[in-house]
Amino acid sequence: MERNRRSWSWPLPLFSVFLIAPLLFSVLIATTSVEARKHHHSYKNTHNRPHTNKHSNHRKGSDSGGFNPPADSATDSTTYNVVSFGARGDGVTDDSQALVGAWKAACQLPGATVKIPSGFRFLMRPVNLQGPCKGELTLQIDGTLLAPSRVGDWPKSSMFQWLNFKWVQNFTIQGSGTVDGQGSQWWTPSSLYYVQVSFALRFYSSHGVTVRDIRIVNSPQCHLKFDYSGGIKVDNITISSPENSPNTDGIHLQSTRDVEIHHSNIGCGDDCVSIQSGCSNVHLHHINCSPGHGISVGSLGKDKSAACVSNIVVDNISLRNTLAGVRIKTWQGGVGSVKNVSFTNIQVSDVKYPIIIDQFYCDKHRCENQTAAVAISGVKYDQIYGTYTAQPIRLACSTTVPCVDVDVADIQLKPSIAGIPSSASLCWNSYGKSQAPLLPSSIDGCLRRDTAYVKRVARSHEHVC
């Protein structure tokens, strides 16, 4: 028995050691690798996920350069918080590259969201945010985005837009936050640059875009522009800048189709909504405009250019203390056409000129008289009520290209200031029909009766469209 114990305890032969050792080493390496991957994955998820912080609206500095992103309501692997990309949100530090970084990451993932968290003020220099992305994308603005407030802080290469979205599709901007252009310095005549800056938010060659719920304020010039785009929806936004801020259009449409803008409040120093050449199938409704220059189609045909606008519906609009109500404005010398435009259920209060067609538009001290003009046809003014401060209706059509098929019905406008003559309407070379009730009664004789000859003359100028 003693001999058996001794023989059982003998060491393994040397060749067995060489067979087993590599196997044990492989197991050890595999185990270490798995644990390393688990640790890396855990760190990566923790690093990318917004941190929970009871005091998310208050940020403390750190000598180590660390930061605590604000808490999200839920951790979501498709949400890219700009704070997690290095944004400080103190209103002083340039956070534009953090936005660009979050955008590039989100652009690669269908259904992703770029988040601008509440309680922070993010200073942004002009940036280009480009598509196309790999699916639907949302920019959730709950905090405040700030443009550089000093003229000298704007790069001269980026004078024409601040936040420039290009080639995006199926894209939404939404949230409870504010986009602040800090444009007051640009509005002074002494500024050398103020005429060069254009748009706070611009969408170029984009489709399926929705903008809703946000506030856009104090743009250096136009607040929101869409050009060469389509499938646009704007809902429940607020745009605000002072009445004396020059060229601060609320929403500017150019070469854009299939647009709906509704249930929004717009106050600015220029047109609340401006519809330019190349636009069609545009519907504006339930919009409050005050202050501003009203709802405008144009100006069109500047510098003898071609302009084509069609199928515009404007209804349920309220305008208060504005220069114009609803108007079409074209330059002399242009070509093309404006057709199938309807203005219905318009409420005006203390509006200088509630109804305007102006084919002698000129923003200079003097403009040269020219015979060519953009042809205007198929325009309807219906259910326009309220008060004016200068002139109830002004239809100044081209001498050589008359306005045709202009219908006026149910107009009830009274002077808001004593002493303004109620008969002070101006109509020139405009053809169509009117239908009672009409107040002032002078509107009834404003339109001449259409004839076949007049229509042929007008339509001969539509060929470019």
Reference 238, options 269, 210, 274, 268; nearest CA is 268
CA angle 340, 346, 349 (to 5 degrees): 140
Reference 378, options 338, 428, 410; nearest CA is 338
In the three-class reduction of DSSP (H, G, I as helix; E, B as strand; rest coil), residue 240 is classed as strand
Cβ burial, residue 299 (10 Å; 0-12/13-18/19+): buried
User: Residues with catalytic annotation?
Assistant: 293
User: b/e string for 333-369 if b means 16 or more Cβ within 10 A?
Assistant: bbbbbbbbbbbbbbbbbebbbbbbbbbbbeeeeeeee
Provide the pairing of β-strand 273-275 with 238-240.
unpaired
426 forms beta bridges with: 394
Q: Cβ contacts of residue 319 below 8 Å, gap of 6+?
A: 272, 289, 290, 292, 294, 295, 325, 346, 347, 348, 349, 351, 354
Total number of residues shown for the chain: 465
Distances (CA, A) of 222 to 4, 150, 437: 99, 18, 38
Q: What phi and psi values does residue 362 have, to the nearest 5 degrees?
A: -155, 125
Reference 199, options 230, 177, 226; nearest CA is 226
Whether residue 166 contacts residue 206, with contact meaning beta carbons closer than 8 Å, is answered with yes
Whether residue 446 contacts residue 396, with contact meaning beta carbons closer than 8 Å, is answered with no
Both structure tokens of 222: 């136009």
Tell me the Cα Rg of the chain: 32
